[in-house]
A and B are shown apart, each in its own frame.
Chain A
Amino acid sequence: MSTTANQKAGFGSTLWEYLTTVDHKKIAILYLIGGLFFFLLGGLQAMLIRIQLISPDNEFISAQFYNELMTMHGTTMIFLAAMPLLFALMNAVLPLQIGARDVAFPFVNALGFWLFFFGGIFLNVSWFAGGAPDVGWTAYAPLSIFSEGHGVDYYAIGLQISGFGTLMAGINFIVTVINMRAPGMSFMRMPLFTWTSFIASVLILFAFPALTVGLFLLTFDRLFGGNFFDPEMGGNVIIWEHLFWIFGHPEVYILILPAFGVFSEIIPTFSKKRLFGYSSMVFATVLIAFLGFMVWAHHMFTVGLGPIANSIFAVATMAIAVPTGIKIFNWLFTMWGGNIRLTSPMVFALAFIPTFTIGGITGVMLASAAADFQYHDSYFVVAHFHYVIVGGVVLGIFAGLIYWWPKMFGTMLNEKLNHWFFWLFFIGFNLTFFVQHFLGLMGMPRRYWKFLPDQGLDLFNLISTIGAFFMAAGTIVFLYNVIVTQLKGEKVSGDPWDARTLEWGIPSPPPFYNFKQEPLVRGLDPLWVEKRQGNGKIQPAEPLGDIHMPNNSFAPFMLSLGLFIAAFGVVYQGSMWVLAAIGFAITAGSMLYRSMKDDLGYHIHKEDLEKEGDGSNG
């Protein structure tokens, strides 16, 4: 597995390399491909929804298909697009930012990807097996209990499998940040993207188990005759809502915090100033995470939990606006007096600030429990969460992808096309969702298959659909850009943006061992410190020596494949239990293989390293 072999690999060996890789940079590319695939799928579903709602009383698709589409759009975008795309960025960048040669658990990292992948595929098999889930992405009981067919079974088990993967990825990043930092990289010198990914991973650790249990209860109720959510047998449907939102609300912060981190990298780089209020940014991140665990019931104001509970959760929700506001002002002050370059990632960042602020303001509006009775389940809510998730997370993901694309692939996306992508997407986004605020205030409920004519809803729905086409066009421009750029394959230097953090101090794409010598970190924004006070190159913290690397393994793929096969057995039962037995046997066998076999990795020898470049960005 030397670097020369990599350059001339045929298709078969490249495929095998990616199926067995434990290299975080390759796993990042896998997450990117998987995440983009599901992003396009979710986008396609959104387009069908918007086409159905282009005019009143439309018969473009059936009501049942509409329900399946809106369920799968939400589920896909949250679990199978946004999360993996963020994991792509984390895998690509986080270890490099802290000067690590690898993540803490390379094997588990690979396993996390394959579990996500097979879980997502399993969920989407439902389209071809009698219908996708049709109960909304929140799958509220008792609707989800009594939903016919196997759609919801696919939902519960598919998300369960990919949820395991997410949990593993989260633990991996927490330990990586704690144990693998380079000499001098203290916690308060970590780049903000690393900080926010770290905190998001902590949230994953504590939020996902609630979803795990919720999905198990749903599975047991549907497939094994359990009574958790069946009121006739003494069950209680509110338990599902609590478990879902105990997970679901931190999930929102799991998504948005890394996006905050991306912008906290981009804004200083293109303002040529260090981040304003670094320590308050860190503090605000931790505070958001802490408060984020105490607000979930604001999704349940209309359930009837009583005025005391509603008040507590309303106040806690509003409190989150404080640390978020701190962040907004810190970004503005970073730009203040800076030498601003309007590159495309910076344009994304500039657009993000007002867009996200609008989403935040409607968030505070929704947090007033009394007013929420009016907004609840209307298009106002749809507009709100698309402003934070598209205007925050999606803009963050694309800004991050464009910003780190050179680091991931060694090529540079065409800036002109990036700007085209931005303007099409941004204008389309505002057209689509800004008017939905008013649709909601006019009383249009969300998740409805059609609306009636002459109720004042026609025009805004038409505008909304037109906006969706703009967004689709923008996405196509981005994809075109990616294909053209990769086909051209024009290489750029290791530091094309004149950036500040450690990952830009090494070649692009980085060698598979990342750092030839462990870097010595001499301050916040280490590369910038060296550019100002040194020779512009990261100083080594150790003499050149052998580097220890982990071995590739096929076990993560097999382990996940086993669960994928077993899942069919669990859903269909009867004679299909054979499948479950085979699947679980494959999984158990892979686990056993992994623990029985000594895997000590291998060493790259000093002599081989000497032949390669000096390991700097030059």
Chain B
Amino acid sequence: MADDMLKSGNLPENPERATLEGRNKFLGFWFFLGGETVLFASLFGTYLALRNSTVDGPSSQELFGLGLVFLMTVILLTSSLTSVYAMYHMKNNDFKKMQLWLGITVVLGLAFLGLEIYEFVHYVHDYEFGYTTSAFSTAFYTLVGFHGAHVAFGLAWIISLMVRNAKRGLNLYNAPKFYVASLYWHFIDVVWVFIFTVVYLMGVVL
């Protein structure tokens, strides 16, 4: 039985939930995401409470440029779709294509992260908007930075999965791992949807 776990090819319909370990991972990770919802809610709540506490520093209207944020949004949304494609090929038991689409996801994620770093550097240098400038700046960098840290962790996770399994293909042991990583990636996107709406768009409007 143990050897079957590592055999690739001829996987069942839902390989991520075909074994007890897989079903456990699947549920446990979903529940973790339920907890993450509260984690980000606490950060969003803190941000909303402090968004006007700019003291002498720049306000959200002075800072945010929507062009860059739109680009970042489209990149991250697309990366969500590409990881859906990866899972589609996983279910069709096509390992090569899955790796390819995961690779595209990683590239898009890196692009997003690069743009975010550029954005932060831009704020710090051109607006003197540092972490300690005001309560607003602290809350902004913490919320968006937490999301960025999630992106970075997700990238490291997906890359290590791809490298580790590059030579041995898909099996019942690693299918749940790939699936769970893709759930994580989607959740990152869910959080970003609220960040671009609540932080950036509302920051410009209100």
Per the CB under 8 Å rule, do A and B touch in the complex? Answer: yes
Of the listed stretches B69-77, B106-114, B116-124, B134-142, chain A binds: B134-142
Chain A residues near B161: list those with CB within 8 A.
Answer: 595
Chain B: residues with Cβ within 8 Å of the partner, total of 39
Of the listed stretches A149-157, A174-182, A320-328, A489-497, chain B binds: A174-182
Chain A residues near B23: list those with CB within 8 A.
Answer: 179
Of the listed stretches A11-19, A202-210, A253-261, chain B binds: A202-210
**Bound Cα distance A345, B23 (Å):** 38
State whether the Cβ of B42 lies closer than 8 Å to any Cβ in chain A.
yes
Chain B residues near A220: list those with CB within 8 A.
Answer: 138, 142
State whether the Cβ of A534 lies closer than 8 Å to any Cβ in chain B.
no
From the candidates B28, B34, B39, B50, name the one contacting A105 in the complex (CB within 8 A). Answer: B28
Beta-carbon contact of B55 and A234 below 8 Å: yes
State whether the Cβ of A58 lies closer than 8 Å to any Cβ in chain B.
no
Beta-carbon contact of A209 and B38 below 8 Å: yes
**Bound Cα distance A535, B49 (Å):** 65
A168-206 at interface with B (beta carbon < 8 Å): 171-172, 174-175, 178-179, 205-206
Q: Whole-angstrom distance from the CB of B117 to the nearest CB of chain A? A: 18
B166-182 at interface with A (beta carbon < 8 Å): 173, 177
Beta-carbon contact of B131 and A205 below 8 Å: no
Beta-carbon contact of A209 and B36 below 8 Å: yes
State whether the Cβ of B193 lies closer than 8 Å to any Cβ in chain A.
no
Chain A residues near B6: list those with CB within 8 A.
Answer: 598, 600
State whether the Cβ of A227 lies closer than 8 Å to any Cβ in chain B.
yes
Chain A residues near B49: list those with CB within 8 A.
Answer: 236, 239
Which of A212, A239, A243, A601 gathers the greatest number of chain B CB atoms within 10 Å? Answer: A239
State whether the Cβ of A228 lies closer than 8 Å to any Cβ in chain B.
yes
Beta-carbon contact of B27 and A243 below 8 Å: no
Beta-carbon contact of B39 and A179 below 8 Å: no
State whether the Cβ of A235 lies closer than 8 Å to any Cβ in chain B.
yes
State whether the Cβ of B205 lies closer than 8 Å to any Cβ in chain A.
no
Beta-carbon contact of B27 and A214 below 8 Å: no
Beta-carbon contact of A209 and B35 below 8 Å: yes
* Contact mask for chain B residues 49-67; partner A; CB cutoff 8 A; 1 contact, 0 none: 1100111000000000000
Beta-carbon contact of A235 and B50 below 8 Å: yes
**Bound Cα distance A167, B32 (Å):** 9
B1-49 at interface with A (beta carbon < 8 Å): 1-2, 5-6, 20, 23-24, 27-28, 31-32, 34-36, 38-39, 42-43, 45-46, 49
Beta-carbon contact of A212 and B46 below 8 Å: no
Chain A residues near B43: list those with CB within 8 A.
Answer: 213
State whether the Cβ of A458 lies closer than 8 Å to any Cβ in chain B.
no
**What range describes how many residues of A lie at the interface?**
35 or more
Beta-carbon contact of A206 and B38 below 8 Å: yes
Chain B residues near A212: list those with CB within 8 A.
Answer: 39, 42
Chain A residues near B42: list those with CB within 8 A.
Answer: 209-210, 212-214, 243, 246
**Bound Cα distance A188, B46 (Å):** 40
State whether the Cβ of A233 lies closer than 8 Å to any Cβ in chain B.
yes
From the candidates B36, B132, B164, name the one contacting A595 in the complex (CB within 8 A). Answer: B164
State whether the Cβ of B197 lies closer than 8 Å to any Cβ in chain A.
no
**Bound Cα distance A220, B138 (Å):** 9
Chain A residues near B55: list those with CB within 8 A.
Answer: 233-234
* Given known A-B contacts A104-B24, A105-B24, A213 and B46 have beta carbons under 8 A apart: yes
Q: Whole-angstrom distance from the CB of B182 to the nearest CB of chain A? A: 16
Chain B residues near A602: list those with CB within 8 A.
Answer: 2
* Contact mask for chain B residues 86-118; partner A; CB cutoff 8 A; 1 contact, 0 none: 000000000000000000000000000000000
State whether the Cβ of A377 lies closer than 8 Å to any Cβ in chain B.
no
From the candidates A206, A216, A230, A595, name the one contacting B34 in the complex (CB within 8 A). Answer: A206
* Given known A-B contacts A213-B46, A214-B42, A600 and B173 have beta carbons under 8 A apart: yes
Closest to B136 in A: A234
**Bound Cα distance A243, B43 (Å):** 10
State whether the Cβ of A479 lies closer than 8 Å to any Cβ in chain B.
no
**Bound Cα distance A216, B46 (Å):** 12
29 A-B residue pairings within 8 Å (CB atoms): A105-B28, A167-B35, A174-B28, A175-B24, A179-B20, A205-B31, A206-B34, A208-B35, A209-B36, A209-B39, A212-B42, A213-B46, A216-B142, A221-B138, A225-B131, A226-B132, A227-B134, A227-B138, A233-B55, A234-B50, A234-B54, A235-B53, A236-B53, A239-B49, A243-B42, A243-B46, A548-B1, A595-B177, A603-B2
> Which residues of A are interface residues toward B (Cβ below 8 A)?
104-105, 108, 167, 171-172, 174-175, 178-179, 205-210, 212-214, 216-217, 220-221, 224-228, 230, 233-236, 239, 242-243, 246, 546, 548, 592, 595-596, 598, 600-603
Other A-B contacts than A174-B31, A228-B135, A233-B132, 8 sampled, CB-CB below 8 A, are A208-B35, A209-B36, A220-B142, A224-B132, A225-B132, A226-B138, A600-B5, A602-B2
Q: Which 3 A-B pairs have the closest CB atoms?
A: A234-B53, A234-B135, A209-B39
